[in-house]
Structure 1
Amino acid sequence: MAQIDGPRLAARSRKTKQLIVFLHGFGANGDDLIALGRQWQPFMPDAAFVSPNAPEACVQAPGGRQWFGLTMRDPNERWAGVNKAAPALDAFLDAELERHGLDDSKLALVGFSQGTMMALHVGLRRARAPAALLGYSGELVGPEHLEELAARKTGKTPPILLVHGGEDEVIPPEALFMSAEALAGANMPCQWHFSPALGHGIDASGLRHGGLFLAGAMRIRIDPALRAKM
């Protein structure tokens, strides 16, 4: 099993009470999302941030990484891919939580695109539910498997927020609504935020909504003066 690692930001307070893990998209790497941690640090001083590099090199993007390969020729490759990559991510999360002396109730997964696929797949299958799952510009892989997941899962479902752009040219905007509908159908409701003019990316509105969602789910109190600056 491949071991993964990536850039980190220590808690500003030096007393880590929450762990937020970023999962980058296809062809990117851990440096791509760690900047979000710098944006959220002022409002989450007790949170440590880490953005691991995915386990595989990406042929289509030299220097980039992928959680799993994409050919667009095999309709089952995404389901096979998330399952193949899940053990390495689970092991990484376990090690990071142990390093900080935390459990999953203090963990949030934040994904972008392919990273959102991983965040939803792994986050919904952890033995203990994470505090929050936040997905940008992605989708739920294998919605047909949610029923069997719900049947055997005894713990609660983590709060979920999905954010998507109406002009996304990589993962169609319809993926947001299809994912939300599938989750609701399996008694795993989620929140969603739609940015009509946004392409495949994260805008200021999505960043703010995501930060507020994480703070609420992780019971982080944001000073009203700081909230106004978000």
Structure 2
Amino acid sequence: MMKINAKPVNFKLGEYISNGYEFLKSNFGNLFGAFLLTMLMSIIPFCGLLAIGNFYKYCRDLRAGKQVSAGDIFNFDDFMPYFILQLILIGGIMLIYIPMIFVLPSMADRDPSAGPPAFFMVYIFVIYIAILIVCLKGFYMPALISLGRVTDVKTAWNMSLIMGKGNLLSIFLYSLVIGILAQLGIIACFIGLIFTLPLLYVSHYFAYEDAMQQITHDEIQEIGTKNEF
């Protein structure tokens, strides 16, 4: 039985990307096939985050040498927590747009050459920063739900807050670097794209797997170790 003890994670930016690259290079066929199925499942309403979470579990099982199959991506065991999380996100987006309902009509009567009002620009900037901070603080939620079996969204959020404490800048830089790598694949057209996009998710898996190893311990294994002595 695994027990989770949420604590600040030692974030290893370069290690996650390098490990992701080596793992993807060694298992490209399996991972690329799983990635395509992940993108296919993401088309299904409310299944995007679930598909990505299942991809992380697929990476874990493949790395452990277990038997993996395409059906692993189309697994709905974690549907409910991801469904609730997406409902919360949709609600948050709707709240963000409420002030814009009142601002946009007033902008329609303005001279287009005058540009948008200062309030609107400040509002958009503040919202952007707020969304960025929320995403960084909730970075570990997919790991907790998919790899840690934490089914309560509020609990996963609170744990992610603790795990990311002191690491928000590192997580931001990591996300920026891996995002740039994915964009380079787009610039390099199709050949680059089929490698860099899976690399993004595989690197995320290593970040999540390392974090889970830092905050969990196996009670059964611990008992066995004690009995040896």
Would you say same fold, with TM above 0.5? no
Return the structure number with greater strand share: 1
TM-score (norm 2): 0.32
Relative contact order higher in (CA < 8 Å, ≥ 6 apart): 2
Return the structure number with greater helix share: 2
TM-score (norm 1): 0.32
Q: Highest Rg: 1 or 2?
A: 2
